[in-house]
Amino acid sequence: MNNYQAMKLTVLTLCLSVCLLSTRVANADTIRWVTESWQNYTNKDGSGLYNDIVKAVFAEHQVDIIYMPWKRALLEVKNGTADMSGATTAVDGYLTPRDAILAAPISILFNKKNMTYTGLSSLQNYVAVWASPYEDELVLTADRAYIKGFSVLDRETSYKLLVSGRADYFVDTKALHQAWLESLGQDAKAAEYQLVDINHLNLFMIFSDNARGQKLKDIFDQGMTRLIEKDQLRPIYEKYHFLEQMPITLRQ
């Protein structure tokens, strides 16, 4: 190898090193937001209540939205391989913002032909179904004495069991039940179902419990304050018809 070839190789090596370093820096500055896809919250096209809020709060940052199963998303944030997820009540082991992002009613959906609801105690006479990844959040301690049933892997299966009559009612958040009913359109079957609130959840975004997570959480709190002061937060909730689930602490 002559001197020219050696110099050329050295320059190429330096350029490659600079590119790799730039990529690492960019990746370090990119916020990794992991979540399951939930209709009207985290739609896969990038829309949804949570997606819009996260993008507005971190408007001056690069945010990568990665969709994955819920339990895996929680684990990645806890391990620090992702920066943030939510919204959830499962906040142990994570950093949480100052305010909840959603005050979500927990509801039961049932076919009026198969069941009559007269209060929590009446649920003991019927078989419930719920999605197992969200059991700890949906089947609250206060309600467990009344809710008898079983879990399945996902919401789609839960709805199929409800429609087939193999389960009498389905426990989930009100907004997701409403979205399912709306998906039926003008189908007469939609009128056969009734939705009843039995409890509520305060849901929080969560961040990794480390120095980077603390920094991002602080930026999130500051960003939410900015959106409230500029009256830019309420329109996001209104856009997805979630104004009634906007926490009181955010209504200023």
CA 83 – CA 27 distance, rounded (Å): 12
pLDDT digit string, tens, across residues 65-79:
999 999 999 999 999
Which strands make up the sheet holding 84-88, listed edge to edge?
A: 63-67, 31-35, 84-88, 193-207, 102-111, 169-173, 128-131, 149-152
**Of 50, 33, 53, 28, whose CA–CA distance to 41 is shortest?**
50
- pLDDT value at 220 more than 50: yes
Report, as an integer, the average pLDDT of 6-13. 48
pLDDT value at residue 21: 35
CA 210 – CA 82 distance, rounded (Å): 11
Residue 225's identity, in one-letter code, is: T
Backbone phi and psi for residue 13, each to the nearest 5 degrees, phi listed first: -65, -40
Give the DSSP H or E segment for 205: strand 193-207
pLDDT value at residue 2: 56
- pLDDT value at 185 more than 90: no
Contact 242, 47 (CB under 8 A): no
pLDDT value at residue 189: 77
Query: What is the distance, to the nearest Å, from the Cα of residue 244 to the centroid of all Cα atoms in its chain?
Result: 17
What is the number of other CB atoms lying within 10 angstroms of the CB of residue 207?
26
pLDDT band at 190 (very low <50, low <70, confident <90, very high): confident
Contact 105, 200 (CB under 8 A): yes
pLDDT value at residue 20: 39
pLDDT value at residue 142: 67
Cα of first residue to Cα of last residue in the chain, in angstroms, is 71
CA 103 – CA 238 distance, rounded (Å): 14
pLDDT value at residue 1: 55
- pLDDT value at 59 more than 90: yes
CA 101 – CA 203 distance, rounded (Å): 6
pLDDT value at residue 128: 96
Give the DSSP H or E segment for 23: helix 3-29
pLDDT value at residue 23: 33
| Distances, alpha carbon 241 to alpha carbons 27, 175, 233, in Å | 34, 9, 13
pLDDT value at residue 141: 67
Question: Which region among 64-78, 123-137, 178-192, 230-244 has the lowest average model confidence (pLDDT)?
Answer: 178-192
- pLDDT value at 229 more than 50: yes
pLDDT value at residue 24: 34
pLDDT value at residue 151: 94
- pLDDT value at 3 more than 90: no
Half-sphere exposure of 166 (CA within 13 A, CB side): 11
